[in-house]
Structure 1
Amino acid sequence: MIIKAPIKLIGNNGSPYTRKMVSLLRYKHIPYKIIWGEPEEYLDRHNIEKPKPILHPTFLFENSENKIVAVTDSTPIIRKLESKFKSRSTIPSNPVLRFLNYLLEDYGDEWGTKFMFHYRWYDDKDIDNAGTLLPLYANSTLTNEELSQKKEKIADRQLGRVWVVGSNKKTAPLIDQSFKRVISILEDHFITYPFLLGSRPASADFAFFGQLSQLVGFDPTPRSIIQNISMRTVAWVGKTEDLSGLEPDSEDWISDSVLPWTLKNIFGEIGKTYVPTMLENEDAFNKGKEKWNAVILGSEWEQRTFPYQVKCLQWIRKEFKGLASNEQQKVLNLLEESGCQKLIV
Structure 2
Amino acid sequence: MPVNLLPVLVIPGESGDYSEAKIDSTPIIRFLEAEQSDRSVIPADPVMAFIDYLIEDYADEWLTKAMFHFRWAHKRNVDFAGSILPRWTLNQLSDEEIEPLSKNISERQIERLRYVGSNETTGEFIEESYQNFIELLSNHLVGRRFVLGDRPGSSDFGIFGQLTQLAQTDPTCRDLTLDVAPRVFAWCDNVEDLSGLEPKESDWIESDQIPGTLSEIFKEIGRTYAPFLLANAEAVAEGKEEWESEIDGKLWKQMPFVYQAKCLTWIREEFGKLDDEQKAKILQILEGSGCEVLIS
TM-score calculated relative to the size of structure 1: 0.83
C-alpha separation in 2, matches of 1:318 and 1:217: 34
Q: Is it true that 1:61 corresponds to 2:18 in the alignment?
A: no
Please state how far the C-alpha of 1:245 moved relative to its aligned partner.
Answer: 1.3
1:287 is aligned, of 213, 232, 238, to: 238
| Rounded Cα–Cα distance in structure 2 between residues aligned with 1:191 and 1:257 | 19
* Number of the residue aligned with 1:202: 153
Pairs within 5 Å for 1:42-191: 50=2, 52=3, 54-55=5-6, 58-65=8-15, 66-191=17-142
Asked if structure 1 preserves the Cα contact closer than 8 Å seen for 2:10 and 2:18, the reply is no
Do the aligned partners of 2:70 and 2:172 also contact (CA within 8 Å) in 1? yes
Residue 331 of structure 1 corresponds to 282
Between stretches 113-122 and 290-299, larger displacement belongs to 290-299
Matched residue SS, 1:54: coil
- Alpha-carbon distance in structure 1 between the residues aligned to 2:108 and 2:128: 27
Q: Deviations over 1:300-340 (max 9, x none)?
A: 11110000001111111110000011100100010011010
The answer to which structure has the higher helix fraction is 2
In 2, the alpha carbon distance for the partners of 1:259 and 1:303 equals 35
Corresponding residue SS for 2:92: coil
8 A contact 1:291–1:302 mirrored in 2: yes
Instruction: Give the number of aligned pairs.
Output: 295
Which residue in 2 is equivalent to 1:217?
168
Write the mapping of 1:260-275 to structure 2, written as runs, cut at 5 A.
260-275=211-226
User: Could you tell me the percent identity over the aligned residues?
Assistant: 44
- Superposition RMSD on alpha carbons, in Å? 1.2
Name the aligned partner's letter for residue 47 of structure 2.
V
Q: Any idea what SS the aligned residue of 1:167 has?
A: coil
* CA distance in structure 2 between the aligned counterparts of 1:201 and 1:194, rounded to whole angstroms: 8
Give the alignment partner of residue 298 of structure 1, picking from 241, 246, 249: 249
Partner secondary structure for residue 217 of structure 1? coil
CA distance in 2, matches of 1:318, 1:60: 26
CA distance in structure 2 between the aligned counterparts of 1:289 and 1:149, rounded to whole angstroms:
36
2:208 matched residue in structure 1 = 257
Structure 1 stretches (4+) deviating beyond 3 angstroms? none
**C-alpha distance after superposition, 1:133-178 (max 9, x if no partner):** 1111112112223211211111121112111211111001111111
Match of 1:27 in 2: none
SS at match of 1:192: coil
Contact residue 91 and residue 202 of structure 1 kept, 8 A: yes
Q: Which amino acid aligns with 2:237?
A: N
Three-state SS of the structure 1 residue aligned to 2:167 is helix
- Contact kept, 8 Å, 1:90 with 1:201, in 2: the verdict is yes
1:10 aligned residue: none
Q: Counterparts of 1:295 and 1:156 in 2: how far apart (Å)?
A: 30
Residues 1:342 and 2:284 aligned together: no
Alignment equivalent of 1:238, drawn from 181, 185, 189: 189
Aligned pairs (5 A) from 1:7-46 = none
Matches of 2:22 and 2:99 in 1, distance apart?
Answer: 30
What amino acid is aligned across from residue 330 of structure 1 in structure 2? K
Deviations 1:96-151 (A, max 9, x none): 00000000000011011111111000011101111111111112112223211211
Give 1:19's aligned residue.
Answer: none
